[in-house]
Structure 1
Amino acid sequence: MQNDQPQQDWVRHAAPTSKVERFEAYFGSHAFDPHRHDTYAIGRTLSGVHRFHYRGESKLCLPGETMIIHPDESHDGCAGSDAGFHYRGVYVSPSQVQDIIKGSALPFFGACITQNKQLAVAADALLNTLDADLDSMAEDDALYTFVITLASVANSGLVSASHHFAAAAIAREYIDDNLDQAITLDDLAHCAGRDRWSLSSDFREFFGTSPHRYLTLRRLDRVKALVQAGQGLSDASIEAGFFDQSHMTRHFKKAFGLSPTRWCSPRKT
């Protein structure tokens, strides 16, 4: 007798690394509410149809195609057919891209969906090792190849780093080192040797979002790492620098389009 029960939604995460966050997921209908995060979101559809709205247009990502969402751009997600959709994704931060392109403007791929074979191979090098930890050098090589390939496909010119990039980089490092502290834009401007509004503009240019959103997203990254290590959401929220769990949950939903409880739900077999 055929089982007509719909497949349940699930999300499976790769072992945490210090460089990129990788995951695999299946959604039968609705997946994500409109949201935006401060990383590139790269996805490869394995089966079904991934439908989403991006920059005012409805998009479909089919099996074999590559999806590239630019940092801080709003998007949602749902199944484009009754079969649902199964895909793999990876988040690559602008700071990781800047480590490679050294102060050039972030590559922007306006088409969002592509069948480019070189980009597919480069993305798969990051995505197809979900079941095993990536060797650090292999991950560096895969990340470098992907960023350079994306810059080429997006026709991004590479330019020399400037003093403004150096100031933004100092501010980013300060945030990374003080996630559990109260940080103001004046603090960042002081450590970077730049006036606060110029620094804010520099940060958006080189890292794809505002210093405040960058701080919030890094704290959310800390929450996810702590929860995956076995800590409860309440304690993880406080340790990551949020006021409480409800404060963290509001930011989590805005960043990822679903609750932290749903995001951390393991695949049921």
Structure 2
Amino acid sequence: MRVADSSHGVERIEARFHGNAFSPHRHDTYGLGLTLHGLQTFRYRGVERFSNAGNVIVLHPDELHDGAAGTDDGLIYRMIYLPPDLISAVDGHRTGVPFVPDPVLAHEGIRQALGDILADLDEQLSDLLMDDVVMRLAAGLSRQAGTPGKTLTPSARSAVLRARDLLEDRCAAPVSSRALEAETGLDRYELARQFRRLMGTSPHRYLVMRRLERAKRSMVEGQGLAAAAADAGFVDQAHFTRHFRKTFGITPGRWLAIRIPSTEKANPVLSTGR
């Protein structure tokens, strides 16, 4: 698995494997990708899905899925993990994030946008490129969703964004529902409802993901699993490992072992259709 340097809050990867690779797991981001070689299979919303080379993959935040190669030829695909608030920011956070019911698409607009950001994992993402790609992806996802996201009031939108910022700032420490209520002015249940509409996941899940991201950075920098877990705010290494496997479908040690910096392999040919 090749992993590009994180930039603008997004993660880009290339995965190559045979057989089953990832056990059921979920992210708090959109998983948007391109199948480059082979047959990509995964179970999503209770149905077995299949993607051939050239297809677009759209995984909604917080949706359980796994991952496998469908044939003995093996599988190559590239993905970008895009925070939902980048998509909702395109319309000023006025509506909830779009839900695309079919995770396998032949959508040229989305494919071209993904091609522009995934063609070269070594490329540093500029602000202008990110702005353009996010705008095109938001437009494509909204069209594919078919129904507009639920409108948020300005006060609810502001409250969710304040909650998001607090969770990011204090991710390594315990954060209580009472603290979020005091910060946002919403009761815990209304906040949970509005947070999911805008961010695609719950405040608890969002906090856990920020801790996992912090722990991943620590591991890449050379910290051991126990130290990375403690630094990110997990009770112990076992607690960290359970959350990591539940989120990414593999153990932290396995993730670290198969992770290859993007510069160590040549890029496969990836056409943007232009």
- TM-score, structure 1 normalization: 0.90
For residue 172 of structure 1, the aligned residue among 159, 164, 170 is 164
Query: Which has the higher mean CA deviation after the structures are superposed, 47-56 or 230-239?
Result: 230-239
1:219-238 equivalence runs, <5 A: 219-238=211-230
Q: Distance in 1 between matches of 2:129 and 2:21?
A: 31
Counterpart in 2 of 1:199? 191
Structure 1 pair 132–233 and aligned structure 2 pair: CA distance change class (3 A): farther
| 2:36 is equivalent to residue 43 of structure 1 | no
CA offsets per residue over residues 20-69 of structure 1, 9 Å max, x none?
00000111101111111111111211101111111121110110000101
For residue 139 of structure 1, the aligned residue among 130, 133, 147 is 130
Counterpart in 1 of 2:108? 117
Contact kept? 2:88, 2:94, Cα under 8 Å: yes
Contact kept? 2:96, 2:152, Cα under 8 Å: no
Structure 1 residue 127: deviation in Å?
1.4
For residue 59 of structure 2, the aligned residue among 69, 74, 96 is 69
Among the aligned pairs, what percent are the same residue? 37
1:1-269 equivalence runs, <5 A: 11-101=1-91, 102-157=93-148, 161-162=152-153, 163-264=155-256, 265-267=258-260
Contact kept? 1:105, 1:156, Cα under 8 Å: no
Q: Distance in 1 between matches of 2:239 and 2:135?
A: 35
Structure 1 residue 220: deviation in Å?
0.6
- Structure 1: stretches of 5+ with no match in the other structure: 1-10
Contact kept? 2:97, 2:149, Cα under 8 Å: no
Q: Which amino acid aligns with 1:115?
A: A
Structure 1 pair 250–78 and aligned structure 2 pair: CA distance change class (3 A): same
Structure 1 residue 232: deviation in Å?
2.5
- TM-score, structure 2 normalization: 0.89
Q: Which amino acid aligns with 2:209?
A: L
Secondary structure of the corresponding residue to residue 209 of structure 1: coil
| Structure 1 ranges of 4+ moved more than 4 A | 158-161
Q: Distance in 2 between matches of 1:261 and 1:137?
A: 36
Q: Distance in 2 between matches of 1:107 and 1:160?
A: 11
Q: Distance in 1 between matches of 2:58 and 2:223?
A: 32
- Structure 2: stretches of 5+ with no match in the other structure: 266-274
CA offsets per residue over residues 202-233 of structure 1, 9 Å max, x none?
11121111110110011111111222233332
Q: Which amino acid aligns with 1:71?
A: P
Q: Distance in 2 between matches of 1:167 and 1:50?
A: 39
Structure 1 residue 98: deviation in Å?
2.1
Q: Which amino acid aligns with 2:259?
A: P
